[in-house]
Structure 1
Amino acid sequence: MKYIPLSNRFLELGRQFYNKCRPVPVSAPTLIKYNENLATTMGLSSDDFYSSDAALFFSGNQLFDSCEPLAMAYSGSQFGQFNPQLGDGRAIYLGEVNHPDGDCYDMQLKGSGRTAYSRNGDGRSALGPVLREYLVSEAMFKLNVPTTRALAAVTTGEEVARESLTPGGILTRIASSFIRVGTFQYFASSGDLKSIKKLADYVIERNYQAIQDVDNQYLEFFKSVVERQAKLIAQWMQLGFIHGVMNTDNMSIAGETIDYGPCAFMDEFDRNQVYSFIDRGGRYAYSNQPSIGLWNLTRLAETLVPLFSDDTDKAVELAKSVLQSYEGSYDNAWLAGMRDKLGLTPDADNNEEDKRLIESLFEIMHVKRADFTLTFFYLSRLDMKYSSLDKKFKALFDNSESIESWLSKWRERLTKESLTNEQRQLNMQTVNPVYIPRNHLIEAVIRAAEDNNDFTLFHELHSVLENPFSLQEGMDKYMLPPEPEEVVENTFCGT
């Protein structure tokens, strides 16, 4: 296997930021999947990454000399309750790959053994969550949603004890940054302003270089984080994606989707949908995600306020002003994305009309429990006039009068557009996916892998999700919602 040039600027921040540790070797690592496209993007050669020693690296059994592995320290507000001591309990940071064009890629092994932050855990991951995160994170990338990515997945040849014994796995994941809102909370909880400033400088240098020379760069940094998160969560909402565990330790400071644990894409639309088994109160339900984003960013603001101004009152007002911009940023991103999904071009004169049109569609979807993805799939293929596809679209809504009325209003709105019918359809089909990683499909992948060591379904589903916006011959089963007996009611962190 070729040498991967890793550096580690995070080490330079100081020992209060991490605890050095090495992956705990596993008995028989076997490579499941290596992401050649991502490797190419990172500037890595993929010539021999399928050699036998590739599994040794991606399991942590054998590291390059350039690796200086560590576990990062952070805190987190979990379901609204602050936990001062979390940290990487089952993940080990290997370092960063620096591309000649200036991009840097952080590399981490997830499920590679105990660290100083593991508490009572074994530091391992079951195979199922590794496969889930590989499929969903790569699907999100292909859906144009900012996300961490999967470089490789391996089986360990060992079992982990969860509710029962289950095969173990390790995921090599890549991110622009593994710094979280909770990382800033970790130092704020002890009043360590010096470390907060160090951390902010580190993140700005790596992930927000455009603001390095502006006045009050810490305030601009916060503005940028708020803007990225608003846009990210708007994208989740436009795809029916539910993160499931939006704790502050699971919010990336770089604005990427991170920590896929109990995540899920909705089948039938329910604005109050919750899949995560541990979210009994529905704190992280689909409809709550935008407000939880603001709640988390408020926790970040509390850590950064001292950097905004020496005048405490002024600093607080500056923070409030930025937080107040979140709702507008989210609304603008949401409206723009939903207009794209409905084939509407931006027009300030139609803002309120378009909002009502969009919201009324979601209301009918909610009442009739229409399939989220299929609703927009069919809509992006409807003509200006009645066609045979109208029947399939209206069947999602039990052929209700409400959807008939809505269709008439939508078509009337389209008469204000200058695009041809064909151009509009093509545009809509670039943002409305045919295929998503539906829960029952992922469950079938996991069952085949864990029960029979069979990864055929994993590879096939991954291949389909590589082109989520294009109909693929013979792959109809991957676009259909689950049969009643296939419905997945709950998802689990499971690592």
Structure 2
Amino acid sequence: MTLNELDLKTEYLSLDSEFYDLTDPTPLDDPYLISFNPKAAELIGLDSNSADDPRFVALLNGTFIPKGVRPFSMCYAGHQFGHYAPRLGDGRAVNLGSINGWHLQTKGSGETRYSRMADGRAALPSSIREYLMSEAMHHLGIPTTRALGIIGSETKIVRNQIERGAIVMRMSPSWVRFGTFEYFYYFKEYDKLRSLADYAIKESYPHLQKDEDRYYRFFCEVVERTAKLIAQWQGVGFSHGVMNTDNMSIAGLTIDYGPYAMLDDFNFGFVSNKSDRAGRYSYGDQPNVSYWNLTMLAKALSPLIDQERMQKKLDDYGNFLYPDAYIDVMREKLGLETKLEEDAELITSLVGALQDAYVDYTNFFRTLSRYDGERMPLYDIAMNPLVIHHWLDQYDQRLAKESRLQTERQEAMLKRNPKYVLKNYMLQDAITLAKKGDFSMVETLLYIASHPFDELPEFERFAKETPEEHKNLTLSCSS
């Protein structure tokens, strides 16, 4: 399919006009292509040679609008750092419509009705970070939005310093957020709340459409998907940084990559968001925050669903849905095929050991994936190997209760524990070069992001632990 053949649907526009605002994008000055993602293009059936078509840059820049498309921005509210904001919405994003189940959206396209006195632009650094990380998360097996491409420009915008404006074309199976439901609940527009629930069910949970108890079952499945998503974040060492309810996907996806980070040396209390001075969204608190966000969703859905029923499901989240999901993720990382009750204690002990060992989280598990009883490789990567030593005593005892061969365990672990994750210092190197007009590192990291479990000898340097001077970088929402 060529760009000229794009046929986008906009079913969201069938909802009441309060759900959105028709928005014309504001083009950037002198736009140019930074990167095109062929793997994302495949999802919508777009020819890979579209990257060479000038209309691709024009599509992202808003100067080429496919036939029949009515660009719009979505309205929603949300709890930001625990405080309710009654009207947020797409302050810098414009939706074009969907194709093959993927909704196309340009981020950084200028002011919208929901910009709240901001310029509606996205800076080059944050755009590169989102473009690359959404692809990385997908190939790590974590539900996420994707990105089709990114353009830069000569448009100057003011952030912590003068930056160049950029636009990312994001793709998602759904852009409905917890905060979308909150908007209509707090304004007591319950008919529209019901319409939104019906839309979200049709879009993301179509098997529930004819169920008489569909709203409750819808809530249950959102809770279950969220539990699995957060368990995957914790397992891979991903810190989202801004887990506001408006950044929580009703479809159980990772959305809105702002000041995120992959862990360097393991730190349970690591805070990736420089603006989060209280540490509300620390890595270790992500499971608790997701529960809190789900309670806000339950409140918003209370006109449709009995609260006591929802509370029982929320209790399940804390009692076993999330804990079991996390233990399952960690079992796979540890190569444990048999499920034993003692595994929870082993995993808890590991988290404590990693906290005290000052060891790179990703390197630890990749090295452990080749564990054959020889401990020196693990001692060599830890600043405090003694705690690793004591934990390995437990691990050896647990492995003795497994039935599969050591080689089979190692092979399985190498498929679950990535060799490559995109650390903030790598992304910063790509950003620094991109500001000079060199996009080679963007392409390199896009390739690495799509091969996280592979051995790539030419990129071995990206598998080493983060240089000391670059560890634990924090970012602001405008970074």
TM-score normalised per structure 2:
0.97
Distance 2:51 2:140 in 1: 26
8 Å Cα contact 1:440-1:488 kept in structure 2 = no
Distance 2:276 2:386 in 1: 35
Within the candidate set 291, 297, 300, 1:294 is matched to 291
Within the candidate set 80, 95, 98, 1:96 is matched to 98
Query: Does 2:229 align with 1:229?
Result: no
Within the candidate set 334, 348, 363, 1:359 is matched to 348
Within the candidate set 310, 315, 325, 1:333 is matched to 325
Amino acid at match of 1:342: L
Give 2:205's aligned residue.
208
Distance 2:478 2:136 in 1: 20
Within the candidate set 377, 398, 416, 2:366 is matched to 377
Q: Deviation digits for residues 226-245 of structure 1, max 9, x if unmatched?
A: 00000000000001110000
Amino acid at match of 1:193: Y
Q: Please, which moves more after superposition, 206-215 or 293-302?
A: 206-215
1:45 offset after TM fit, Å?
Answer: 2.8
Q: Deviation digits for residues 381-427 of structure 1, max 9, x if unmatched?
A: 111x32xxx32211233353332122122122112111111110010
Show the 5 A alignment for 1:96-115: 96-97=98-99, 99=100, 104-115=101-112
Within the candidate set 82, 93, 108, 2:84 is matched to 82
Amino acid at match of 2:378: F
Give 1:144's aligned residue.
141
Within the candidate set 136, 139, 155, 1:158 is matched to 155
Q: Please, which moves more after superposition, 275-284 or 36-45?
A: 36-45
Query: Does 2:397 align with 1:418?
Result: no
Show the 5 A alignment for 1:273-312: 273-308=270-305
Q: Please, which moves more after superposition, 17-26 or 220-229?
A: 17-26
1:200 offset after TM fit, Å?
Answer: 0.4
Give 1:489's aligned residue.
473
Distance 1:107 1:48 in 2: 16
Distance 1:411 1:58 in 2: 53
Give 2:20's aligned residue.
18
Query: Does 2:252 align with 1:255?
Result: yes
Distance 1:70 1:228 in 2: 28
Overall identity of the aligned pairs, in %: 39
Show the 5 A alignment for 1:431-446: 431-446=416-431
Query: Does 2:469 align with 1:478?
Result: no
Q: Deviation digits for residues 279-336 of structure 1, max 9, x if unmatched?
A: 000000011100100111111111111212xxxxxx1211111111212111111011
Give 1:324's aligned residue.
315
Q: Please, which moves more after superposition, 404-413 or 484-493?
A: 484-493
Distance 1:400 1:74 in 2: 49
1:488 offset after TM fit, Å?
Answer: 4.7
Show the 5 A alignment for 1:443-462: 443-450=428-435, 452-462=436-446
Aligned residues: 476
8 Å Cα contact 2:144-2:172 kept in structure 1 = yes
8 Å Cα contact 2:108-2:167 kept in structure 1 = yes
Give 1:311's aligned residue.
none
Give 1:175's aligned residue.
172
Is the partner of 1:317 in helix, strand or coil? helix
Distance 1:138 1:462 in 2: 7
Distance 1:48 1:477 in 2: 32
Is the partner of 1:307 in helix, strand or coil? coil
Within the candidate set 369, 374, 377, 1:392 is matched to 377
1:448 offset after TM fit, Å?
Answer: 1.3
8 Å Cα contact 2:19-2:75 kept in structure 1 = yes
1:121 offset after TM fit, Å?
Answer: 0.6
8 Å Cα contact 1:90-1:118 kept in structure 2 = yes
Is the partner of 1:306 in helix, strand or coil? coil
TM-score normalised per structure 1:
0.94
1:166 offset after TM fit, Å?
Answer: 1.2
1:476 offset after TM fit, Å?
Answer: 1.6
What's the C-alpha RMSD, in Å, of the aligned pairs? Answer: 1.3
Distance 2:160 2:384 in 1: 44
8 Å Cα contact 1:336-1:346 kept in structure 2 = no
Is the partner of 2:456 in helix, strand or coil? coil
Distance 2:328 2:140 in 1: 16
Distance 2:465 2:390 in 1: 25
1:107 offset after TM fit, Å?
Answer: 0.8
Distance 1:116 1:416 in 2: 60
Q: Which 4+ stretches in 1 moved above 6 angstroms? A: none
Is the partner of 2:280 in helix, strand or coil? coil
Is the partner of 2:169 in helix, strand or coil? strand
8 Å Cα contact 1:244-1:263 kept in structure 2 = yes
8 Å Cα contact 1:75-1:183 kept in structure 2 = yes
Within the candidate set 451, 461, 468, 1:467 is matched to 451
8 Å Cα contact 2:338-2:402 kept in structure 1 = no
Distance 1:400 1:165 in 2: 45
Query: Does 2:346 align with 1:346?
Result: no
1:67 offset after TM fit, Å?
Answer: 1.3
8 Å Cα contact 1:155-1:169 kept in structure 2 = yes
Q: Please, which moves more after superposition, 44-53 or 173-182?
A: 44-53
1:143 offset after TM fit, Å?
Answer: 0.1
Change (3 A) 1:232 1:494: same
Give 1:312's aligned residue.
none
Distance 1:187 1:81 in 2: 17
